[in-house]
Amino acid sequence: MKQLFEIDLKDYNKKDNVFRRPSARAIIIKDNKLALVYSIKEKYYKFPGGGIHDYEDKREALIREVSEETGLIVIPESIREFGSVLRRQKSDKSPHTIFEQENFYYRCDVKDECANQELDDYEREAGFILKTVDIDEAIAANEIYTSDVYFNEVMIKRELRVLKIVKDHCYFSG
């Protein structure tokens, strides 16, 4: 998969341990709008998706994560590679640890019917809901997003850059 860009804050010691947490994320375009996860508490948008378990391949993780976060059901044969983003920074959870996350983005389609969300505690606390929005609305919200948690800010700046790349690929008609 082609790398879209890399975020390396270089705020860590190169001798630190590396904790890798790859993820799969969905770009779902329906009726000229994007299906995104919106955090009611934090007021940001993110692509549905999340961590890839050791026993999963990327596409299995994508299907599972989209279903858990949004209730949307991915059509497996519609999954197409879009690009990846490598993020590397000091861990916010463990001292002397580098957090490294390769985010694999895929275009995909979803079925018309939905299942129920299955949010974890963090996602429930953030107030994750599915929103289908104009891409410019998502970009505008993420451009003004700030947080006391710098780790979250880096994540949303990554999502903002990917949103702009998706928009530049002319997937939307004006």
Residue 8: give its domain's CATH number. Answer: 3.90.79.10
Residue ranges of alpha helices (H) inside 24-149 are 58-70, 121-126, 135-144
Q: What's the residue count for the chain?
A: 174
Pairing status of strand 23-30 against strand 49-51: antiparallel
1 pLDDT band (50/70/90 cuts)? very high
Pairing between β-strand 33-39 and β-strand 45-46 as defined by DSSP bridges? antiparallel
> Contact 67/49 with Cβ under 8 angstroms?
no
Domains: count for the chain: 1
Alpha-carbon span 166 to 26, nearest angstrom = 12
Per-residue pLDDT of 6-53, as tens digits, reads: 999 999 999 999 999 999 999 999 989 999 999 999 999 999 999 999
Task: Answer whether residue 144 is part of any domain.
Answer: yes
Q: Is residue 174 part of a domain?
A: no
pLDDT bracket for residue 174 (50, 70, 90): low
- Whether residue 12 is contained in a domain is answered as yes
Domain that holds residue 115: 3-168
Q: Which residues pair with 51 in a beta bridge?
A: 23
Is residue 74 one of the residues assigned to a domain? Answer: yes
Q: Is residue 173 part of a domain?
A: no
CA distance 84 to 100: 13
Q: What is the mean pLDDT of the chain?
A: 94
Q: How confident is the model at residue 151 (pLDDT cuts 50, 70, 90)?
A: confident
